[in-house]
Amino acid sequence: MDEAVHPDPKPASSGHDSAFTSVPIEVRVSVGRARPSVAELLRLNPDSVLELDRRVEDPVELYVGDRLIARGQLEELDGEQAGQLAVRLTEVASDNGSF
């Protein structure tokens, strides 16, 4: 598919210019949720399949902490990074958290 795209290290000024803008943060990507019963959890083994509440083509959600910051589609990179999983953003939340 595509090569990895890295954000511009010096984006246009957005009022967030400070020493903290260079601090790395963890972004969690959620592909779905499952709600098995306790009995179903106890029966899980290495060959079990846990059904999620989403389809393969559904967007994934990106979180920083508990805050939803964006949505996107999973992609597989090509070239030197072949096989690497990535997310192409399709929606980004505004400063107030709305899309």
pLDDT band at 18 (very low <50, low <70, confident <90, very high): confident
Domains of the chain: 26-92 (2.30.330.10)
Calpha distance 18→3 (Å, rounded): 30
CA distances from 38 to 35, 55, 61, 88 (A): 9, 24, 26, 35
Query: How far is it, in rounded angstroms, from Cα 95 to Cα 69?
Result: 9
Q: Global pTM? A: 0.72
Residue 84 phi, psi dihedral angles, 5° rounding: -75, 135
Tens digits of residue pLDDT in 20-61 = 899 999 999 999 999 999 999 999 999 999 999 999 999 999
Structure token digits, residue 68: 């939803």
Nearest to 4 by CA among 90, 61, 75: 75
